[in-house]
Amino acid sequence: MKVPLSKEALDQLFREARTFNKFLDRPVSDQVLRELYELMKFGPTSANLAPARILFLRSKEARERLRPALAAGNVDKTMAAPVTAIIAYDDKFYELAPRLFPHYPQIRDIFTSSPEVAESNAFRNGTLQGAYFILAARSLGLDCGPMSGFDNAKVDEEFFPPPARVEKSATEVMPTGRIKSNFLCNLGYGEASGLHPRLPRLGFEEVCRVM
């Protein structure tokens, strides 16, 4: 029988979690990034097709490539973050249906016959996985700085270029020409100095109805 998480765990995931703009000078290891993904991958998506793709930018050189796409207010904090994750999605995610939804691989036909349905599903479920990403990171003791102040087209051109810009000898970890950025998330161990008081949230009665 499942039991509620402890108060401390809920505080870490939600009540005391903040959006951080400053991080300690403490690296985030490959092992922690792997553990993060190994947690987030279990969050549900439509037909288990998991369209999210993540590019972790850790080196100074990689984050400098991101600089031209950032809004002015996001430059300094991103350049200083230990890791910046590009949360993206594969717009042909359905090609993995035989592997990820083996009992009914024909579900891919729903998406191949309608680019609009494919795009809305990729974006919706990729965004959902981005939320799992944040919670998984917090559960491992990381702090997050998610943001949308950047030029998606510039990010896609730089990091997910069309096939014409990719050398034939290059190894494709993410298929070229079909990955699209959604949002960015700085990762690290947060520096509390400079945090403003938590902003207000809407109450239950303002947001919810029970029928």
Q: How many domains does the chain have?
A: 1
Q: Which residues have a Cβ under 8 Å from the Cβ of 67 and sit 6 or more positions away?
A: 75, 78, 79
Query: Chain-wide mean pLDDT for the chain?
Result: 95
Look at residue 5 and tell me if it is in a domain. Answer: no
Higher pLDDT, 164 or 153: 153
Look at residue 72 and tell me if it is in a domain. Answer: yes
Look at residue 151 and tell me if it is in a domain. Answer: yes
Q: Give the mean pLDDT of 26-42.
A: 98
- pLDDT above 70 as % of the chain: 95
Q: Give the mean pLDDT of 62-69.
A: 97
Look at residue 119 and tell me if it is in a domain. Answer: yes
Q: Which residues have a Cβ under 8 Å from the Cβ of 157 and sit 6 or more positions away?
A: none
pTM score, two decimals?
Answer: 0.94
Look at residue 40 and tell me if it is in a domain. Answer: yes
* pLDDT confidence of residue 17: 97
Look at residue 201 and tell me if it is in a domain. Answer: no
Specify the amino acid at residue 71.
Answer: A
Q: How would residue 162 be classed by pLDDT, with cut points 50, 70 and 90?
A: confident
Q: 3-state SS of the chain?
A: CCCCCCHHHHHHHHHCCCECCCECCCCCCHHHHHHHHHHHCCCCCHHHCCCEEEEEECCHHHHHHHHHHECHHHHHHHHHCCEEEEEEEECCHHHHHHHHCCCCHHHHHHHHCCHHHHHHHHHHHHHHHHHHHHHHHHHCCCEEEEECCECHHHHHHHHCCCHHHCCCCCCCCCCCCCEEEEEEEEEECECCCCCCCCCCCCCHHHHCCCC
Domain harbouring 52, CATH code? 3.40.109.10
Cα separation, 164 vs 76, in Å, equals 32
* pLDDT confidence of residue 175: 81
Q: What is the pLDDT of residues 99-155, one digit of tens each?
A: 999 999 999 999 999 999 999 999 999 999 999 999 999 999 999 999 999 999 999
Higher pLDDT, 61 or 162: 61
Domain range for 165: 21-191
Look at residue 135 and tell me if it is in a domain. Answer: yes
Residue 26 has pLDDT above 90, yes or no: yes
Look at residue 58 and tell me if it is in a domain. Answer: yes
β-bridge partners, 53: 88
